[in-house]
Structure 1
Amino acid sequence: MDKSRGGPNGTGTPETAVEVRTLADLARVAGVSAGTVSRALAGKSLVNIETRERIQVLARQYGFRPNQIASKLRSGRTGVIGVVIPLGPATGQPISDPFFMAILGHLADELTGSGYDIMLSRAIPDGTPDWLERITGSGMVDGVLLIGQSDQCAIIEQVAARYRPRRLGQPGQGPAPHHRGHGQRTGRTARGGASDRLRARRLAFVGDTAGVEIATRLKGARAAAQAAGLTIDHIPADLADERMRSQIGAALIASGADYDGIVAASDVIAMATLHVLHEAGRKVPGDIQLVGFDDLPMAGLTSPR
């Protein structure tokens, strides 16, 4: 092979110190056009298999890596999906929350399996109405998935109105089909078989209702309690773990309240409540019945489950 072309020697390494940084450089080494090199590295069948394999071998030998950013700019696609967790009033809730981690794990499996990368953003709106537009209009992502609505429904609907509708899950609270929850009402289940086994007579719902999801769960719990001829008190609980336990302890233990049934707005709150009750010597379900929401895998590891 002509050494002036920088061809490989018998050891499989370049004989001359040819610098290959761009598609044009590799094209000169291979003796083809830059377009052919681009198609060959992308594995396109437009390039015959022998030429394609030869170019790919040369790329490896010269340590050439295509500029992915430039390629994506040309195609108008980033190959990235943004996963955004909007935190309105619950700014202390960490991404390491088991609820977020469970969803992120499934999303990562599906998206990466479909050839996408993930860009994760923990968005704290802080009163700025363009927080979502800065993400959707950044040019850095091909699409955005939001985990939870927080108290940002109006802004989410405003931004979503500019896109083609996508109906996901069960119908949510808003009139437009751009974003959907997964069915927050607890009333239907509680009015079924669960109400037949209910021994509790003084009930409390534990959770901060600033976000639409938990507010809707409280609405369902109240409907179920009313159907059973009962009322249910509301105990706010911060989603930041260090504050959550002290609030639950103050409401359930320090106050001397005699609740015998607790509806927790999430499994994370239910697990924190279980811990507080255990430390206070209250038995679940012997002294007090407890139910959570979300069906997290971690909830199956507590005792009782």
Structure 2
Amino acid sequence: MGDQGRVRNITDLARLAGVSPGTVSRALADSQLIAKKTREKIQQLAREHDFRPNVMARNLRIKRAGAIGVLIPLGHETGQHISDPFFMTMLGNLADALTERGHDLLLSRVIPKDPDWLNRVVDSGRVDGVILIGQSDQIDVIEKVARRYLPLVAWGANLPDTIHCTVGSDNRKGGEIATRHLIERGCQNFAFFGDPIAPEIAERLEGCRMALSAANMADKLSILPAHLTAETAHPAISQWLEDTKSIPNGIIAASDVIAMSALRALAEHGVSVPGQVHIIGYDDLPFANQTVPTLSTIKQDLANGASHLVDLLFRRIAGQETDSVVLEPKLVIRQSS
């Protein structure tokens, strides 16, 4: 379709339908003031051209909703809950930052059942903008909405050839730092615990592979696609320990929750940490300093990340284009490595 046939706004759709922009606006709102036949024609044209009215622009002209939608999309990790330690830490930081801006937080845990879940939120008129905590396996959905809806930011991986605005740590570098640390500890065989279907975890795994390749140890890695909840990670790791012929002496966990689950499973199998196995997590959640042994990890500055998410979102609400922010990961060495 050429530029002349593109429908960018209500005026374009009105021209195509041969009616006034006001008629289009009322028809899309399903107003009974517009004849049924005309309403149906206009609504069909809107569907054919994948056009949705910019509810945010209308709200800004009238009155802001005073709420920010904070969504947790769980396309691949449907067992995760809002009570997850990572989510609770991030939500606390976001709530503080949004309260300081005079906005409420409208929280929703989303298990996508169709590709329109994010469209429904941004078109609801209930929120002034949306923050996504994680991208899950929903990159295509997020990208489609980001092309037409500016006030949208996501905590996650900054991926090449994507347009949506993100805040997150340099996951590849974090995975590389974690693996290099274990190499320096004398580890010779390695395992990565985490499911790379999620972009952030895929980047951490890639960083792990980069570090091993640089050390000529690329063939020394095994992968267990453990899920992010302790309820699923622990039994999976326990079964893996029973099935594996040789337990690696270096374990890189894609999250602190997975690392904590590994500590428990290793202890149950009589494997000492860090005596026989060195292990490192990712996130530096508050409990990482309370495990036995205490957990070495890669720190993501979640407080700083939440501050960036809110700052970028409000700049986008004001109509500004913003670049993504990539935070530096930091190695935190404790007893487990």
User: How does the TM-score come out when normalised to structure 1?
Assistant: 0.70
Deviation at 1:166, TM superposition (A): 7.4
Deviation at 1:164, TM superposition (A): 3.5
- Name stretches of at least 5 consecutive residues in structure 2 with no aligned partner: 1-58, 295-337
RMSD after superposition: 2.4
What code does the residue aligned with 1:172 have?
A: N
In the other structure, the counterpart of 1:142 is 128
Q: Secondary structure at the match of 2:260?
A: helix
Does the CA contact (< 8 Å) of 1:95 and 1:122 recur in 2? yes
Q: Structure 1 residues 124, 110: closer, same or farther in 2, change over 3 A?
A: same
Does the CA contact (< 8 Å) of 1:86 and 1:123 recur in 2? yes
Does the CA contact (< 8 Å) of 1:166 and 1:177 recur in 2? no
Does the CA contact (< 8 Å) of 1:244 and 1:272 recur in 2? yes
| 1:219-266 CA distance string (max 9 Å, x none) | 111111111221311111122332211100011244343211100010
Q: Name the CA distance, whole Å, in 2 between partners of 1:79 and 1:187.
A: 39
Q: Are 2:148 and 1:162 aligned?
A: yes
- 1:71-86 aligned at under 5 Å gives the runs 75-86=62-73
Q: Secondary structure at the match of 1:292?
A: strand
Length, aligned pairs only: 232
In the other structure, the counterpart of 2:258 is 269
Q: Are 2:102 and 1:115 aligned?
A: yes
Deviation at 1:301, TM superposition (A): 1.3
Q: Structure 1 residues 196, 151: closer, same or farther in 2, change over 3 A?
A: closer
Q: Structure 1 residues 178, 165: closer, same or farther in 2, change over 3 A?
A: farther
The one of 210, 214, 222 equivalent to 2:209 is 222
Indicate the structure (1 or 2) with the bigger Cα radius of gyration. 1
Does the CA contact (< 8 Å) of 1:93 and 1:241 recur in 2? no
Q: Are 2:283 and 1:257 aligned?
A: no
Deviation at 1:93, TM superposition (A): 1.2
In the other structure, the counterpart of 1:3 is none
In the other structure, the counterpart of 2:93 is 106
Deviation at 1:200, TM superposition (A): 1.1
Q: Secondary structure at the match of 1:135?
A: helix
Q: Secondary structure at the match of 2:241?
A: helix
Deviation at 1:303, TM superposition (A): 2.1
Question: What percent identity do the matched residue pairs reach?
Answer: 47
- Name stretches of at least 5 consecutive residues in structure 1 with no aligned partner: 1-71
Does the CA contact (< 8 Å) of 1:86 and 1:146 recur in 2? yes
Q: Structure 1 residues 118, 182: closer, same or farther in 2, change over 3 A?
A: same
Deviation at 1:188, TM superposition (A): 4.2
What code does the residue aligned with 1:235 have?
A: L
Q: Are 2:189 and 1:202 aligned?
A: yes
Q: Structure 1 residues 258, 279: closer, same or farther in 2, change over 3 A?
A: same
- 1:39-50 aligned at under 5 Å gives the runs none
More strand by share: 2
Does the CA contact (< 8 Å) of 1:169 and 1:182 recur in 2? no
What code does the residue aligned with 1:189 have?
A: I
Does the CA contact (< 8 Å) of 1:266 and 1:292 recur in 2? yes
Q: Are 2:177 and 1:189 aligned?
A: yes
Q: Secondary structure at the match of 1:293?
A: strand
